A and B are shown apart, each in its own frame.
Chain A
Amino acid sequence: MKKFLNSPDTVLADALAGLAAAHPDLSVDLDQRIITRAHGPHRAKVGLISGGGSGHEPLHGGFVGAGMLDAACPGEVFTSPVPDQILAATRAADRGAGVVHIVKNYTGDVMNFQMAAELAGDEGIAVRTVLVDDDVAVQDSTYTAGRRGTGATVFVEKIAGAHAEEGADLDGVAEIARRVNAASRSFAVALTACTTPASGRPGFDLPDDEIEVGVGIHGEPGRRREKLAGAKEIVATAMDAILSDQPLDPADRTIVMVNGLGGTPLLELYLVFGEVSAVLADKGITVARTLVGNYVTSLEMAGVSITVCRADEQMLALWDAPVRTPALRWGC
């Protein structure tokens, strides 16, 4: 597998250097490995941080900026950050009003964030942790580590970020973050595997005429393998999984994201979005806001994830609030 690398061991450091060079609005601490806003805010507000393994860009560093995150802490590729790093991000985001940790529900992320939250607590920083677990491909049962956090992370970061920006208190920001997560469901399908720089080999072998259904964002195989079908059929499978987990009424308004996993062209993402909106239109469900593009990727995996959030008026208003980050930018 060919990649643009200097060495597999320096991929994160080298990419962070590039991120810093590309975005003067971001401040990148290459030692502590945290990304913060370069300019303010200079008032007390609730801090919002997130982090996780690298390889999901623009998540999370691309969502640091006004109206969204205060800081991000990227781990090695597909590996959660370490507690010291999370603590450094927490300190950087703390302006005296407390800090919300947005944590995707993976064993490693949960443990490392928990350790960091304890350390931050020892320093007198109030921390609330919000777990994102929107992936309906995994059953939430005692037989699994619980549902994975995937696409809904973007919704949670945007909406909770806007709420923090408008001056909500710590519990208020955590509460809306939890509500957005609870109202969101995702499902993903992969056409190819991806290759981590350290491993150098694809995570699985997939014949040309087969797809992995119910994948996560870490290059792991999905719940099952199926024959490649038409886009309409694949979308039907995904939307079935999403809508049977959270049935929607015609009165419901939704925010819908069709997200590329890294190796699928926008042309196909829009094609998929067309199918998704047809499914929703058929049920009379309103698509109030949309996002189509690569937001939560899995290196160069070809594939798509669909996220549907049942949004209330407050969520929609916060969604529309100004945001100024490398990857999401409107209203400013």
Chain B
Amino acid sequence: MDAALARAWVQAIAAAIDEHTDQLTQLDSAIGDADHGANMRRGFSACLDALADTPLETPGDVLVRTGATLISSVGGAAGPLYGSAFRAIGRALAGPDAGAEQVLSALTEGLTAVKRLGAAVPGDKTIVDAYTPAVAAFEQELWEGGGLAAAAAHAAEAAEAGARATTTMQARKGRASYLGPRSVGHQDPGATSTALIFRALAEVTVR
């Protein structure tokens, strides 16, 4: 992954979020406060502006800038969580061109950052429930000899399955936890946006 690919990834995320804003908001309306779609759209459109401004040399520069922009534009729970994730991913991608192994460890750093800040574990009905299987699938594909594109494709599938699996969970973190058992039967908005982020990575890595 080089700076151009990192930039393409962020642009693809912005496009996907734009297309799914309403879906994310409706999911958040069922078990949260109906702002996740608007939050993510505001954040990633700010990222497009931030990236357009400056020449960025490495994928790390692009993704650290993305994380910082998310933190200063999103708010809510998603801003600090995704912002910290992208900053951590970026910090782990210092060179001009990262190989698939390095991308794996960067994605893992991102997940660690989310867990450190939010203290969620798998099964809590959060971002972590899509992110964790995505990283595992990415790693497994590399283990089996696949490259970046194949790993990203598997990660996207796993993230989507992980997001769907949140439907039957009872939330233990975030706003949805206030609903107790009434949070069951709805897919988690944050896990859904995480799946979009991994799908975007899969799309740009095959180009």
Q: Which residues of A contact B (CB under 8 A)?
A: 53, 75-84, 106-108, 111-112, 115, 137-139, 142-145, 148, 196, 198-199, 201, 203-204, 216, 218-221, 223-224
Contacts of B118 in A (CB 8 A): 107, 111
Minimum Cβ distance to chain B for residue A85 (Å): 8
A220: contacting residue among B25, B38, B173, B178, CB under 8 A: B178
Residue of B nearest to A223 (CB): B180
Contacting A at CB under 8 A, from B45-104, are: 71-81
Residue contact A143 to B182, C-beta cutoff 8 Å: no
Contacts of B39 in A (CB 8 A): 76, 79
Binds A, one of B8-16, B29-37, B145-153: B29-37
Most buried by B among A76, A82, A224: A82
A112 and B177 in contact (CB under 8 A), knowing A76-B39, A196-B35? no
Residue contact A145 to B175, C-beta cutoff 8 Å: yes
Once bound together, how far apart are the Cα atoms of A143 and B73, in whole Å? 29
Residue contact A108 to B179, C-beta cutoff 8 Å: no
Minimum Cβ distance to chain A for residue B37 (Å): 7
Residue of A nearest to B126 (CB): A107
B105 in contact (CB, < 8 A): no
Among all A-B residue pairs, the 3 with the closest Cβ atoms = A218-B33, A108-B76, A111-B80
Minimum Cβ distance to chain B for residue A37 (Å): 24
Residue contact B71 to A115, C-beta cutoff 8 Å: yes
Residue contact A111 to B81, C-beta cutoff 8 Å: yes
Residue contact B172 to A144, C-beta cutoff 8 Å: yes
Contacts of A139 in B (CB 8 A): 180
Most buried by B among A79, A81, A112: A79
Minimum Cβ distance to chain A for residue B97 (Å): 31
Contacting A at CB under 8 A, from B145-186, are: 170, 172-175, 177-180, 182
A81: contacting residue among B26, B38, B75, B81, CB under 8 A: B75
Contact with A along B14-31 (1 / 0, CB 8 A): 000000000001100111
Question: Chain B interface secondary structure, helix, strand, loop or mixed?
Answer: helix
Residue contact A111 to B31, C-beta cutoff 8 Å: no
7 contacts between A and B (CB under 8 A): A79-B39, A83-B80, A108-B79, A218-B32, A218-B33, A221-B182, A223-B179
Once bound together, how far apart are the Cα atoms of A196 and B36, in whole Å? 12
Residue contact A198 to B75, C-beta cutoff 8 Å: no
Once bound together, how far apart are the Cα atoms of A220 and B31, in whole Å? 7
Interface residues on B, range: 35 or more
Question: Chain A interface secondary structure, helix, strand, loop or mixed?
Answer: loop
Contacts of A112 in B (CB 8 A): 75-76, 79-80
Residue contact B172 to A219, C-beta cutoff 8 Å: no
Once bound together, how far apart are the Cα atoms of A78 and B29, in whole Å? 11
Residue contact B75 to A79, C-beta cutoff 8 Å: yes
B4 in contact (CB, < 8 A): no
Contact with A along B94-128 (1 / 0, CB 8 A): 00000000000000000000000110000000000
Residue of A nearest to B34 (CB): A199
Residue of B nearest to A193 (CB): B29
Minimum Cβ distance to chain A for residue B23 (Å): 12
Residue of B nearest to A138 (CB): B178
Once bound together, how far apart are the Cα atoms of A75 and B33, in whole Å? 13
Most buried by A among B32, B75, B117, B174: B75
Once bound together, how far apart are the Cα atoms of A144 and B76, in whole Å? 17
Once bound together, how far apart are the Cα atoms of A148 and B31, in whole Å? 15
Minimum Cβ distance to chain B for residue A134 (Å): 14
A78 and B80 in contact (CB under 8 A), knowing A106-B175, A145-B175, A198-B25? no
Contacts of B38 in A (CB 8 A): 76, 79, 198-199
Minimum Cβ distance to chain A for residue B12 (Å): 23
Minimum Cβ distance to chain A for residue B24 (Å): 10
Residue contact B77 to A107, C-beta cutoff 8 Å: yes
Contacts of B174 in A (CB 8 A): 107, 145
Residue contact B75 to A76, C-beta cutoff 8 Å: yes
Minimum Cβ distance to chain B for residue A303 (Å): 15
Contacts of B74 in A (CB 8 A): 79, 82
